[in-house]
Amino acid sequence: MKIRKATRRDISRLVELWWELQVQYFSYDLPYYRNKSKAACFRLCQKRLEKYFQDPNVILLVAQQGSAVIGFVIGEVLPRSNYHRVETYGDVGPLGVAAGWRRQRIGTRLMQALEKEFRRRQVRLAQLYVDRRNHPALGFYRRRGFDERMVHLIKWL
């Protein structure tokens, strides 16, 4: 298994993996998905991925076993407001591993590769959002040194 930068040839597989991840967590964001078909969600995801490939601040990595893409992680280097101690931070976006490949440290290797790329770009702080009801993801990130610092509140209107 190897970790590499994603290419445009990976987009259709990335959309499939993203969907697999979303289906697991519909209950966390159902208001967003309930009015969209699977095809519409696929198109939205594909469009977003196309934009990512054009943005030099986005890091899109995949885990590959043989010729199969079995996981991915998306990160982005973003500016922080000038009252913080660091000028930029690494935003960790979605991380997904195909169902048959989970619990084999692939997610860990993807996160290690993303953190390495953040450090290469002089990023010293990484942050992410996880729904507090998503206990497996919370445990995964906490085991990797992330700790809860702020509470993000939302209200559907």
Is residue 94 within 8 A of residue 22, CB to CB? The reply is: no
Residue 62 near residue 9 (C-beta atoms within 8 A): no
Angle between helix 38-54 and helix 11-24 axes, rounded to 10 deg: 130
Alpha-carbon distance values, 2 to 72, 129, 152 (Å): 11, 26, 34
CB-based contact 114:75 (threshold 8 Å): yes
pLDDT in tens, 6-61: 999 999 999 999 888 877 666 655 566 666 777 888 888 899 999 999 999 999 99
Q: Which CATH class is domain 2-143?
A: alpha beta
Read off the pLDDT of residues 105-144 as tens digits, 9 standing for 90 and up: 999 999 999 999 999 999 999 999 888 888 889 999 999 9
pTM (two decimals) = 0.88
Residue that has been written with the tokens 């964001």 in this structure: 29
